[in-house]
Amino acid sequence: MPAPDLAVLARRAALVARLRSLVPGEGVIADEVGLRAYDCDGLTAYRQVPLAVVLPERTEQVSAVLRFCQSEGVKVVPRGAGTGLSGGALPLTDGIVLGLGKFNRILEVDAANRCAVVQPGVTNLSVSQAAAPHGLYYAPDPSSQIACTIGGNVAENSGGVHCLKYGVTATNLLGVELVLMDGTVVRLGGKAGDAGGYDLLGVVTGSEGLLGVVTEATVRLLPAPATARALLLGFTTSADAARCVAAVIAAGIVPAGMEMMDKPAIDATEAFCHPGYPMDAGAILIVELDGHAVEVDELVERVATIARDGGATTVRASADEDERLLFWKGRKSAFPAVGRITPDYLCMDGTIPRARVAEVLERMTALAAARGLRVANVFHAGDGNLHPLILYDANEPGQLEAAEALGADILKLCVEVGGVLTGEHGVGIEKRDLMGTMFSDADLAQQQRLKCAFDPDGLANPGKVFPTLHRCAELGRMHVHEGQLKFAHLPRF
């Protein structure tokens, strides 16, 4: 992490007093016990008590706090519900945590325009609940949707099991109100499309709190599908299941969701909540089809045929809603189920081309064995988004380090086969030092120049995403390539 600014630490009492004047009442936490509650996010292996926690309630307060922090050179770590898995909300000792938990209102459900205007501290699930009476819902559905907030979803560009058909947060976000580090408030996008101008909304989505603070979001609502049915498919090996995934896509079918679990994950969930998964299977797929009843029935038949042709040992189509939910029950409790068979686990998040899934799973098993560890796999097979769960025991000396090393091995493997480091959890601190395996220095310098346009002093969530921090002035001077490469056959200026 960046070296702590000792001058800021020395002025802590004065800074806290000023912050209290900006956000009065219960809006500033500065006591040891209160700060402990904010010392980590969902990546609990890393902890740090912040300088202070500030909990504003209005956009003007966010603006005033950021302007103050910029003028005082104080770093800011934005935070939603703290469910993130990459350490994006890990505090800094010399920085404040800006918690958006009090921005918890749904401002408007605009059914005619198929959108909702919400504050960033609203939970993901509550948006769909508010939209349900209108026959609408919010499509991105990360596993943590009961707790995670829209602001965090925007920061991480969260997905979920249904993004194969309905897209990730970026696809379903129409606009935001964004506060920059200098306190400026800008509106990007909104209820109308084609706003013109640069797609800054697209850049802010998935920017992990490094560009500014979102204080309002307008999200797209979709008509609730008339029908949904799921297939439970069992295969002898993960490779057979992976081939079935590719065959379904190649047949022109894009299911609402297509999830895979391997043998260790099947065993753990069957013991945990008895969803009735086939115990003779080396891997299962849950394939959900939704839409008009006629279409769903037709596609269920087609997927079942593809699965049988691909050697499926179990093919069950849900006959009713209860059975569909039972198929999903195991998948949705897979993480806690795995938590019961191991003292600790690390959840990874790479995305790879579908065609390489079987190969990567096989090589992953070998990589785990080489480090003396085991891996359970529960993941979004339809879009190649892997979630290997690395099982370890933090009380055994050396196991956390081995698990982290295996995590790095796996993510490097994802990049090697043409994939990426993270599909939906974000880079944060967890994958920061692996960025160089995917991007060149020039790639990363350009990304940081973009950050400079939003945050010239580098105070918004520094130490995350980028392995090396550069000053903006230094990045702007890099005109090193002019005239370096001469192509004699090209016309001259």
Partner 1 sequence: MAALNPADAHEVRAIVGEAMAAGATLAVEGGGSKRGLGRPVAATHTLSLVRLDGIIDYAPSELVLTARAGTALSVIEALLAQHGQHLAFEPPDTSAQLGPGAPTLGGLVACNLAGPRRLRAGACRDHVLGIEAVTGFAEIVKAGGKVVKNVTGYDLPKLFAGSFGTLGVMTAITMKVLPRPEKTRTVLVFGLDGAAAGSLMIELARGPLDVSALAYVPRAVAARSAVGYVAGAGSSVLAARLEGPPRSVLARTEAARARLGAHAPVEELHGHNSAALWREIGFGALLAAPASRPVWRLGVPPADGAAALRALEQAGAEGYLDAAGGTLWAAAEEPVPVHDLAARHGGTAMLVRAPAEARARMPVFAPQAPALAALERRVKQAFDPKGVFEPGRRVEGV
Burial of 482 (0-12, 13-18, 19+ CB in 10 A): exposed
Tell whether residue 231 is a contact of partner 1 (CB under 8 A).
no
Label residue 402 exposed, middle or buried (CB < 10 Å: 0-12, 13-18, 19+).
middle
- Helices (H), ranges, 167-292: 200-204, 238-250, 263-273
d(CA 493, CA 474): 28
Q: Return the residue of 81, 161, 287, 299 that touches partner 1, per CB under 8 A.
A: 299
Both tokens assigned to 389: 């769960």
| Inter-residue long-range contacts of 266-272, CB under 8 Å, 24+ positions, other chains counted | 266/330, 267/341, 268/334, 268/337, 268/338, 268/340, 268/341, 268/376, 269/330, 269/331, 269/333, 269/334, 269/337, 269/338, 270/330, 271/337, 271/340, 271/341, 272/330, 272/333, 272/336, 272/337, 272/340
* Max CA distance (Å), the chain: 73
Query: Judged by CB under 8 A, does residue 430 bind partner 1?
Result: no
Q: By the 8 A CB rule, do 128 and 140 touch? A: no
d(CA 26, CA 38): 15
d(CA 484, CA 182): 38
Name which position in 294, 369, 370, 469 contacts partner 1 (CB under 8 A): 294
Q: Does 87 bind partner 1 (CB under 8 A)?
A: no
Q: Which residue in the set 11, 102, 316, 449 belongs to the binding site for partner 1 (CB under 8 A)?
A: 449
Taking contact as CB under 8 A, which single stretch among the options 202-210, 304-312, 316-324, 360-368 is the one that binds partner 1? 202-210
Smallest gap from Cβ 35 to partner 1, in A, equals 29
- Burial of residue 223 (CB within 10 Å: 0-12, 13-18, 19+) is exposed
CA distance 210 to 462: 7
Residue 238 near partner 1 by CB under 8 A? no
Query: 145 or 399: whose CB is closer to partner 1?
Result: 145
Q: Is 342 in the site for partner 1 (CB under 8 A)?
A: no
CB of 383 to partner 1, least distance (A): 5
Binding to partner 1 in span 38-57, by CB under 8 A: none
User: DSSP label at 351?
Assistant: B
Pick from 202, 282, 339, 467: which binds partner 1 (CB under 8 A)?
202
Window 177 to 196, contacts with partner 1 (CB under 8 A): 180, 184-188, 190-196
Indicate whether 453 belongs to the interface with partner 1 (CB under 8 A): yes
Comparison of 388 and 419: residue with beta carbon closer to partner 1? 419
Q: Residue 30 or residue 357: which is nearer to partner 1 going by CB?
A: 357
Binding to partner 1 in span 365-424, by CB under 8 A: 380, 383-385, 418-424
Q: How far is CA 408 from CA 252, 348, 370, in A?
A: 35, 9, 13
Site for partner 1 in 206-225 (CB under 8 A): 206-208, 223-225
Tell me the DSSP string of 379-413. Answer: EBGGGTB--EEEEE-TTSTTHHHHHHHHHHHHHHH
> Judged by CB under 8 A, how many residues of this single chain contact partner 1?
108
User: Contacting partner 1 (CB under 8 A), which of 93, 435, 457, 467?
Assistant: 435
What's the min distance (Å) between Cβ of 157 and partner 1?
5
Stretch 89-148 residues interacting with partner 1 (CB under 8 A): 110-114, 134-136
Nearer to partner 1, 59 or 342 (CB): 59
Under rule CB under 8 A, residue 197 binds partner 1 = yes
Q: Strand, helix or coil at 232?
A: strand
Q: State how far the Cα of 58 lies from the Cα of 53, in Å rounded to an integer.
A: 16
CB 321, min distance to partner 1, A: 16
* Piece of the chain touching partner 1 by CB under 8 A; list 116-124, 146-154, 318-326, 447-455: 447-455
Residue 469 binds partner 1, judged by CB under 8 A:
no
CA angle 353, 261, 264 (to 5 degrees): 125
Site for partner 1 in 156-175 (CB under 8 A): 156-157, 159, 163-164, 167-168, 170-171
Q: Identify which of residues 370 and 478 has a Cβ nearer to partner 1 in the complex.
A: 478
Closer to partner 1 at the Cβ: 366 or 493? 493
Q: Check residue 487 for interaction with partner 1 (CB under 8 A).
A: yes
483 lies in the site for partner 1, by CB under 8 A: yes
Residue among 94 and 290 whose Cβ is closer to partner 1? 290
Q: In this chain, which of 327, 454, 459, 460 binds partner 1, going by CB under 8 A?
A: 454
**CA dist., res. 478 & res. 172, Å (int):** 36
